[in-house]
Structure 1
Amino acid sequence: MSELNHSSSPALTARAHYVRRPGDEPAVQGAPIRAKRRPQYGQIVTGFVAIALLALFIQSQAQNPNMEWGVTWEYMFNPVVLEGVGVTIQLAIFAMLISIVLAFVIALMIQSNNKVASIIGRGYVWFFRGVPMLVQVLLWFNLAVLFPKILGQDTNSLISGFTAGLIALSLAESGYMAEIIRGGIISVPAGQTDAGVSIGLTRNQALARIVLPQSIRVIIPPTGNQFIGMLKATSLVSVIGGSDLLTRVQLIYGQNFKILPLLIVAVLWYLILVTIAGVGQHFLERRFNASQPGSRKPRKHSPAGAAATTTTTGGAP
């Protein structure tokens, strides 16, 4: 009996080692433990080299007399240039809105069970994605060659440079947007539509209430990218005198022959517009992706809350 007690005492001792007694709890961690990252020397060296090269380039251009920076700043906020900026913004916004509406219809036609509608939708995308946008601008501007009158009105008076550019940009962009919207729709499993139908919804109601709300976060990022591309594509209407930013700049340097400084004016304004659009896209994406991991900053837990979640293991002594 003594041997049995002697042989079992090590097990009892080992088991007693894991019992936590009152007062032995570890101190509450007030802040989360953050791992210290090793310095990335390669990134640091690359960053310094890139900054040095950029500084040298800026210095060389700032001191280059051929740049004529004084002329650039003189025309940066010229009323004629600002009017061109306004026309560029109008073209981009209106063309994007029209293209989204057209693209939504075309995407539904492609996804339709109606074979004829699907073929028409695919043919529409094939044509307007296949023809270069500049060619479409020229075709619409010269529509009077085919149709001298439309609804009893002179075609040239109806289709100005702005109108021709708006039509061409809208139709060309709708071909790309149709595929973006279609991709967003098919990203939602078909079973969710079937589930909506099974609870009494029609397929159109299931599309509006189930599919589209989920597909919107897939559609928004490429749509924002397309809008930025649209801002730059508006410069194509300058070939038909569309009164956009580049058209106004060309009119000015056609008179004073300050070509490079005025092109820099156009470059700076396009960069400003694209930057604003990029910031807007960022906040829009964050708004619709609020439920996705990493879209929101983690909440800080208070020490009191951390203490409340601390539990004591083991039993009484």
Structure 2
Amino acid sequence: MSSDTLAKIPATPGTPEPVDLPRIVPRRRYGQWAAAVAVLALFGLAADSVVRNKAFQWGVVADYFTSDSILRGLWLTLWLTAVVMVLGFALGTLLAAFRLSANPVLRAVSWGYVWLFRSIPILVQLLLWFNIGALYPQVLGVRTVDLLPPVAVAVVGLTLHEAAFAAEVVRAGILSVERGQVEAAQALGLSRARRWWRIVLPQAMRSIVPPAGNMLIGTLKGTSIVSVIAVNDLLFSAQLVYHRTYQVIPLLMVATLWYAAVTSLLGLGQSYVEKYYARGTERAR
């Protein structure tokens, strides 16, 4: 039925005379269209300048993108990210349990740990651990330098830093579960372990997964800071090459493209995990 037909409905016997109805005209959003065109134009100009700028040396980028040294650095970056996330969240979960405990000593220890490691910049923490031998030259008769090589220093420093933030993420997720859910599980006679595994954690994960995913991506990018203590990660591998070839920009672009590719894959995985734990809620739709 056309709009003209709808605008004037014929009368039937016993009904009032037809009335002319106003036509509904969509609102014209000229400002939004103009802004979209301007943004696209600026994006096109920026992309064109990047592609046509010979200083980027895209041929060199392609040559080194899958070179052995770069791939070894990428592998160490991925390994370091995985280890730090697992250990950081394990320690962070323990700290969150301390913070939620009825024991005031455990609560104070957890609060103090989170306050301390969130207050000190990660670079300062890494440098302190790297120079720990100045404070403790030997531990159990072994030189500290032998106990903590650069990779171990990176794992320890990043894990302790990560645990402070993971503790708050886990604590917030647990607190997001309604108290009535736990009380209902208690009324059903479920054990404490079963209550946590079947009731609390599945609901807490809805609040834990999004910030945890952001922390994972942040940790991946944050591992680049270990290059200052000569850990042969992705960035340090690129630096070793351009210190030899003086092709600074192309090698930095190689590292940038690898970081962008991996973070994109992690973001995609995060979205799937979020949908999985959001089943049955409005967020899953």
TM tier, smaller: 0.7 to 0.9
Task: State TM-score, norm by structure 1.
Answer: 0.78
Q: For each residue in 1:83-111, what CA deviation from the matched residue of structure 2 results, as whole angstroms up to 9, or x when unmatched?
A: 11111111111100111100110001000
Give 1:168's match in structure 2, choosing from 157, 161, 177.
Answer: 157
Letter in 1 for 2:55: N
- Is 2:201 aligned against 1:212? yes
Say if 1:120 and 1:204 are closer, same or farther in 2 by CA, change over 3 A: farther
The two structures, once aligned, show a CA RMSD in angstroms of 2.0
Report what 1:131 is aligned to: 120
Letter in 2 for 1:120: V
Say if 1:69 and 1:291 are closer, same or farther in 2 by CA, change over 3 A: same
- Is 2:217 aligned against 1:228? yes
* Counterpart Cα distance in 2 of 1:138 and 1:113: 36
* Counterpart Cα distance in 1 of 2:145 and 2:67: 30
* Counterpart Cα distance in 1 of 2:26 and 2:71: 48
Letter in 2 for 1:141: F
- The structural deviation recorded for 1:294 is 5.0
Work out which of the two has the higher radius of gyration on C-alpha atoms and give 1 or 2: 1
Say if 1:197 and 1:79 are closer, same or farther in 2 by CA, change over 3 A: same
Identity of matched residues, %: 38
Say if 1:181 and 1:39 are closer, same or farther in 2 by CA, change over 3 A: farther
The one of the two structures with greater contact order (alpha-carbon pairs below 8 A, sep at least 6) is 1
Report what 2:98 is aligned to: 109
5+ long unaligned stretches in structure 1: 1-13, 18-35, 297-317
Letter in 2 for 1:266: A
Is contact 1:67-1:261 (8 Å) kept?
A: yes
Is contact 1:161-1:243 (8 Å) kept?
A: no
- Is 2:243 aligned against 1:254? yes
Is contact 2:64-2:251 (8 Å) kept?
A: yes
Report what 1:8 is aligned to: none
Say if 1:116 and 1:259 are closer, same or farther in 2 by CA, change over 3 A: same
Report what 2:276 is aligned to: 287
Q: Which moved more, 1:186-195 or 1:103-112?
A: 186-195
Aligned residues: 263
Give runs of ≥4 in structure 1 deviating > 3 Å.
Answer: 36-44, 201-205
Report what 1:302 is aligned to: none
Q: For each residue in 1:168-201, what CA deviation from the matched residue of structure 2 results, as whole angstroms up to 9, or x when unmatched?
A: 1111011011011100111112232233223333
Q: For each residue in 1:210-236, what CA deviation from the matched residue of structure 2 results, as whole angstroms up to 9, or x when unmatched?
A: 211211111000100110100110001
- The structural deviation recorded for 1:74 is 1.5
DSSP 3-state at the match of 1:270: helix
Report what 1:244 is aligned to: 233
Give 2:189's match in structure 1, choosing from 200, 207, 213.
Answer: 200
* Counterpart Cα distance in 1 of 2:136 and 2:150: 17
Report what 2:109 is aligned to: 120
* Counterpart Cα distance in 2 of 1:39 and 1:205: 57
Report what 2:178 is aligned to: 189
- Is 2:79 aligned against 1:90? yes
* Counterpart Cα distance in 1 of 2:26 and 2:222: 44
Q: Which moved more, 1:194-203 or 1:96-105?
A: 194-203
- Is 2:71 aligned against 1:63? no
Letter in 2 for 1:83: R
Is contact 1:128-1:171 (8 Å) kept?
A: yes
Letter in 2 for 1:229: G
Give 1:78's match in structure 2, choosing from 57, 67, 78.
Answer: 67
Letter in 2 for 1:275: S
- The structural deviation recorded for 1:158 is 2.3
Q: For each residue in 1:145-177, what CA deviation from the matched residue of structure 2 results, as whole angstroms up to 9, or x when unmatched?
A: 222223433221221211111111111011011
Say if 1:113 and 1:227 are closer, same or farther in 2 by CA, change over 3 A: same
Task: State TM-score, norm by structure 2.
Answer: 0.86
* Counterpart Cα distance in 2 of 1:280 and 1:101: 21
- Is 2:38 aligned against 1:46? no
Letter in 1 for 2:150: G
Q: For each residue in 1:109-148, what CA deviation from the matched residue of structure 2 results, as whole angstroms up to 9, or x when unmatched?
A: 0000000000001011111111111111111111222222
* Counterpart Cα distance in 2 of 1:211 and 1:226: 22
